[in-house]
Structures are given as structure tokens and as C-alpha cells.
Structure 1
């Protein structure tokens, strides 16, 4: 019995080990939060962030959130051990060389503008001799308290003000005490005289004074600045609020899903939510002026060192520059003479260019007028239908009036129909006139609707013995002049119909299809007319030649030009048995699609 019990125990241990291994194998999503104790909304917004990540990533993914110093965050980024970073705007811009990008920024009723929501306050005792940043702070050696690992926010903010005031920011660093306490403890050190000043994050003082009202009478803020965008007193310029950053370790889909969840996440318990910051140029300027982080290379060179190391080259460059100046003075006179000659040549060239432009414009107008004169026969087909309708209504109205009086409503209906058809005819004439005046004007056009309209016009305005079948596709948008598109289809239908005059069971097939792989729209017009010879096909492709007795070949030239203007291509494919297939390919307008 003992061996059986032993084997059973071993089996149970192995099963438990497999279960634990399966649990531990679940994916882990690592979030690094910049260390900042007692920061406004800090705890509640991290809880809000954690909830959003759990909602987006699902229960199978474990979210690990760690609080790290700026240097630890940089190390994790180098080693690829973090997917998401939550930090202030200064650290964000300092991490740009590591491939991070901002995703969302903290927003709240307390700081309604996320681009101006963070800063620092330098506090002293109300009876302190230090009354401003530029008065006594550099004339003595005060003891300034600052929370540990806050160089990437409050310290840089206040050093930026020193640079703006042309003060020695490097000397100010020597006044800093090695503090490890929280911001509330730093306030106590100032009140008790253990420190002459203390650096605090924006809005912490207002929050702290609510709990300890007596502090208002004991401390003051140096260089106090107030803004309508932040109800706090600070000593520095305001910068963007804390942001969530994605790292190169995260996929684009995860980044998109997390951004969508954050921006729709409800407010946190302290009334903070997520928005977007757009103005980080002030932070970049701050880091560059301080010559820190990615701009630390600016500290490596000074003007004095440059002159000491490159003095011989500077002398040679000076001599070379002197020679260049002398040479330029000698050549200046020759240049002036040559410039005068070139100016005269340019004037003549400008005159010839204007004359050439006038000739080119006249040729373009003549070309358009030639096309308009050719398409007048096609437009007559369009005008025939409204004119016939107007004629029928007019004759019907006269005949009805001869029989006796009519009701006012009946007369109004007939007159309205006549007016409507008159407007249709006027619109056709206006399209031709605009085309002759302005030429092609491509716009986003739905091909199926335009082809259907052209087919309807063709059937109503021509003696068409052929059966026209139209097979549309899904919505297919292209860039083309609608009038040119209608003209193109009418030309193809007219040519196909004329080829079917002596054909029994004449049929024209019009198809529209979309090739999604190449992002192209294909229009085909096929007839079952007589089989074309190789010689006839060559004449059609060449243009200005035709197989018709009274034709000029201009119609297919117009079609080719319209296709070329729309950046498409046209192919003529003879069928094996009968007829011709005209295949026109247009680029798909993906924006409209």
C-alpha cells in the first residue's frame, strides 16, 4: 500500500506544479510610474489607469505597476522590461531617444488646460530675508530642501526660471539638501528653520494648507505667478500634465485599444480624467536651455575650449576669408556688368514667355471648342428627350384647351412639367458651355450612378435597337469630371450601338467592378457585333481613324483623353467570336471609399 500512496502523492505534486506553471505563464503587462509622493490626483489616477488597462487587456493578462525613479525607468526601457510609462512631461521628453510616444494626458477640473497644468513652487518663511529669486538667493548660501528623485520635475522647473532670469542655475544646485522626506515634511523643515526654502510640486501647497490653515501665515511663495488656467500659486512657467507613454515593446493594436479606453474612461474618484496634450515645445526648450538629458552634449564644448584647440585653423580660416573678401570686391564690378546684361535678357525672355502663354491658352481654347463641336451631336441626343417632352405637353395642352375650359390645377401641373423639362434642357446646355469655358474639373464621383444616368439618357434620346444590360458593383468612387464621364459612356454606347446596326439579337453589356488588391475600378463596355480584323483594331487604337463610313475617329480620341485626364488607362480587346470589349481602368478614390 505504501508504494501506491507514494505514487499518488507524486502525482498530486506534479499536477499542482503544472497548474502553477500554467498560471505563471499568463502574459504580463508592465507599467512603470514615475515616483512622485503626494502629487495631486496621483493615487486615484493610477487606479483609473489600472482599471482601463485591465478592461482593455482582459483578465488573462496580468498588469504589474511599479513606482520607479527616472533613472530606473530609463534602465527598464533600455532593457525592454516595460510596456507603458506614466510620468510628467519633462521625463517624457527626456525619454524620446528611447522610442516612447505620448498616448493620453491627465485632465481635471482643477487644471482644465492639460498643456499648462504642472510646475513648481519655491517656498520660504514669511519673515525670511529671501524675498525673490534674483535678490538674495544668489548672495548667500541658503539651504534648499527638495524631495528625493524630483530632479525631473520641480528642480528642472525652477532651474528653468533661473536661466530665464540670467541667474546662475548651477550655483543654485549647490544649495540643495540631501532630503528623502515627502513634500509635507519639507514644509515642516521650512517652518522649523531647518531649511531656508523648499521646492514643492504645483498645487501641493494649496492642498496642504486646507489641512493646516495656520501654515498660510507662516510661509510664502517666491516669485508668485498666478494663471487663470491653474488655481494655484507657482514660481515657474506651467508645463503639460502627466502623460501615459507607449514604448517600443507594445503593439500598435494594444496602443490603439488602450488609447480608446483611456479617452472614454470615466472620471477618477478625485475628478480627474484623460485627455490629450499638444504643446511640448516649452519642455523641449527647458531641457535645451539647461543642457540636460538628451541635450547634455551641449555642455561638452565652450567658446574658450574651441579657440584653444582650433586656434591654428581659425587663423587659416581668417586668412582664407580675407582672400575671399578681396576676391569678391574685385569680381563685384564684373558681376554687376554681367547682371545688367542678364537682366536685359530676362526681360526679353519674360516677354517671349508671355507671348507663348497667350498662344498656348488660345490653342487650349481652340482644342476645347473642337471637342465641344464634336460632342454637339451627342448633346443633341440629350436635348431631344426634354424637347420632345415639352412638345408633347404643349400640344396636349392646346388640344385640351380647344375642347373647353380646364381646371387651374391641371393647367398648373402641365406648365410645371414643361418648366421642369425646360430647366433640364438648360442644364445640359450649361454643362457644355462650362466645359468649353473652364475645361475639365475632376471631383469625387460615384461611377455606378453616373454610368446608370448616361445609359438612361442614351436609351431615352436615341433610336437604340440594342438591349443594354448594366451590372453595377458596390460603391465605386473615382476622381473625374462628371460631364466628361457621361460623355465617355455616351461615346462608347453610341459606338457599340452603331456597330450593332446589322446584328440580330444586338446586345450591349456594361459592367463596373472593383479590384481591391490594386485599388482600381474597372468599367467595361462589350457588344456582340461583327468580328473585327487586326487592321480595324489597329485603326481604333491609333485614333483619328475609324471603321465607319462617315466617321472621323474623334470619338475614341476624346474617350482616350478623358481617361488620361482621370489617370486611368484604356484597352481594346476583340472577342474570339464576335464584337469588341472596351476595358477602362480608373484608380479608386480610397478617401471617398
Structure 2
């Protein structure tokens, strides 16, 4: 009886073990498919077509396991490796080195291509241009439109970027346009052939493969600046790096990795000549990343003295030169001041002997000169400051009325405050310009759009005289001139103010002042036409004389100063009656900078 019970317990134990065996096997993941993530640089369809023989060989060599091929772009494959959505990866050499740092990838084999001399020198970049393009060297790509796959594409951009930098062309700053088109890579070559780009960056052998398949004609494209690569069947514009690796990830079972590695190394060559070799040395790829400061070495792009020196050495050299120049100038000025001081001390003795007899006469002459200069500047300042001060008063009164009415919206008050500040600054500029004119300082010449300057003047005039009506005649096309914007605004505002005063004196203030801008024989002509009372014939002869005016409170300086300003910039200022109509037209011209 006791023996029977023992046999019964053994039978139940064996039965339980047999029942639990499938569950244990499922728990180990033996029934789950082995997922191989492939970088689909030619597109998803090409993954199944190009790698299906490998999948079948692995299934035959690793009994009981099913293998599936999953296609990804580079970002998707990185994400899948991090999230453990794949067990192995087949990817580019550069992407593999990035996965070493990001996902613990470990190469177990390196692809051996029939197109390359060896697996260690197989991958490079081909910079492809049209066969008839006038390009012979990499530096000539500066300013050109270049297509590439992706900033993270190893053969499709990064290798070529290193070669361009070595040739003195920074792809991020010196190219006319750098465009990344993404996968599949074939469309880059098709775009270059169609003339939609000057050059395209692809991994080597893609051009030759597309020519062999009939997608391209050998006479369409060529590789720019090919580098000699003995034993290689493809032209390259760069040095060569190890071919694609087959890599296991951190979470991949070691036993499975060993079985797959053995299967890869015993796999026969495909009909196309591909096979697998022992893992290559990818130190050269790591060096490339370090030089470009990308991938695992992107942190090197952070600011440091070395990066600042390399990026801004020109500006730093200029600053140093300016500093040295300033120091030399300071020493020279001190020397001249010292020498001049000695001369002045020597001349003081002579001056003292002559001071008594010349004191009275000199005092009278100095007093007269000071009064003349002061009177001229005071009159000019009073005349020219009238417009900005009137605008300041109008804006201030408008803001006060809003505040009294309880309308405290921030936007109108802020706009009024900004306009007051702008007019104050303008008043200061007017004072500086009048002083410069009195001292006969040269005007500041800059390339300007005369139409834009006129628009600014109109805005200031409307702010100072809200009741005035302005009518623009003609198109407001750009009108390039060489002049000083502030002084041209002064002239325009003066002409508009004179026109408004003339219409007011004639009782026609509500009529519009016509302003025109026209091209005229190599110059731009600005005309201001009013409907005032006009001028008598004898008044035309003295219109531009200083201190001549027809206004009761006028000073007679506006048109005189305006004429001086316009003639400084090579233009003319003139006046003419409006024919049978009432009023006057004042015109000024400036040379058209579109003409030589």
C-alpha cells in the first residue's frame, strides 16, 4: 500500500511538470518572434526585398525561433531600441555608434559588401551633381543648394559634413541652402537630375546601384571630387568607414545573440555577393562624431573658451586690433597734447604783451560774432522745432482729454506717450542738425527709400495737424536715394507746413494738399501742390532768400534751409505756379540710385 501511494505521488508530480512545461517555455519567450529592426534608407518595401534571405537563413539556423523584419527611419529605430520593441538592429555605422551610447547596442557581425574592398572600408558619402555642372571641388559648393537625407544620417550627411568642413565649407552656414528630404534616399538623386538642387549627399554605391537597375542613366549624374579607393566598385567623395553592423541590444538574451552570431558568420554569400564578417572596428566613426560634436558628443557644442575662439576668432581679432589702435591713438594724443601745451605756454608771453592794445577791439569783435551765431542758430532752432513741439502738445492734450474723460485704456495712452518720446527725440535731432549745419558739418549720407521717408513725414505731419488733408498722387513704389532721412523729413514737413499755411490764409484749409513722387530723368521728383493764394511774380525771385517771408509771423528760414539741404545731396529745389488754378507747387529732386 505504501509503495502504491509513492508511485501515485510520483505520477502526479510528473504530470504537473508536463503541464507546466509549455507555460515555462512561453514565459522564457521562446515562442515570441525575434524582432529585427532595419534602417529603411531605401523605403519599407526594400527592407523585405533585400533582407528576406537573411531572415530565412536565421530561421533555418536557429531552430524553434521565428524572425520578423521591422522597417524604421532613424528616429523610429532609436525609439524602438530604447523601448525594447526590437531585439536586434541592422543600421548604418553612425547610427550604431549612437545606439551604443543610447541603448547599449553591441555589434556581433559586420556586413561584407561586394562593392567594397573590405568591411572595414565600405561606407562613405557621395556628393552627386549633374554631369554638366560647373563644379569640380568641394569648396565650390559654398552658396549652393544641397540636398541631404537627415542631420543624423551617417552616409547621407554626416560623413560629407566632415569632408566639407575639412575643405573649408561649413555646411550649416556656408551653403546657400541645406535641405533634408528624408527617406527614401533615391529621391535625392532624382531631384538633382531634375535640377531642383545643385548637389545631393547620399551613401556611396547608391548611384551605381540605381544606374545598374535602370532608374538612372550613367550620363545624368557624377560624383563630385571622387577620392581614390582601391578595390572599391563605387566612387566616394569622402574617406571610408566600416560597413553596417548587425547588433544586439542590452535586453537581448545572450544565448540568442550567440546563436544569431554563429548563424551570420556561417551564412553563405547571397547571389548579389553579400555576406557577414566578424565585427569591425568603429573607432573612426566615434572620431567623426567627436570632430563634428554630434551624437554622443553633442555636449561639446556647449559654450567654452575654445568654441568661442573658433567661432568668433575674426571678431576677437578685430576687437584686439581696435584695442591696440585705441592704445596707440591715446599715446599719440597725449604726446600731441603735451607738445601743444608747451607751445601754448611759449605763446602766452607774446599774447600778454599784445593783450592790452588789442583787448578792446577783440572784445567787440568777439561779442559781435557771438551775437550773430547765436541769432542765426536761435532763429533756425525756433523755426524747425515748431513742428515737433506742436506734435508733442497735440499728443499731450489728447492724452489729457482721455484722462479727464475717464478713458484710461492703456494702448492709446501708451501710443501717445511713445509719440511724445519720438517727437522729443526728433526735436533733439533737429537741434543737433541745425548746429551741424551752422558749423558746416557734412550731412550723413545713407541709402534710403524716399517713399518710406515721405510716409514717416506724413505721419508726423498728420499728428501735428490732424485737420490737414493729404492726397498722394502716383504709386508708392520704392525710390532709392542717397541722403539723410531726418533732413529729408525736415524739408518735407517744411513744405507741407508752408502749403497748409498758404491754404489757411486763402480760406481753403479743408482742401487736400497733393503730394507726388515721380521718376524724372535719373532722379526722383517730389512735388507738394497747395491751393493757397500763390505768389506775385516779384516774390518768386526772392522766394529762397534767407529771412524773406510772406507770413506775418514767419522768419524766412524754412525754404532757405530746405534748399541748402537738398543741394547738399545733389538735388534741386524749385517752385512754380499752378497755371490757371490757385496755389503753388514746390518740387525737390534727388538722384535716383537705381541709375549709375
Provide TM-score, normalisation by structure 1: 0.44
Instruction: Choose between structure 1 and 2 for higher RCO, CA contacts under 8 A separated by at least 6 residues.
Output: 1
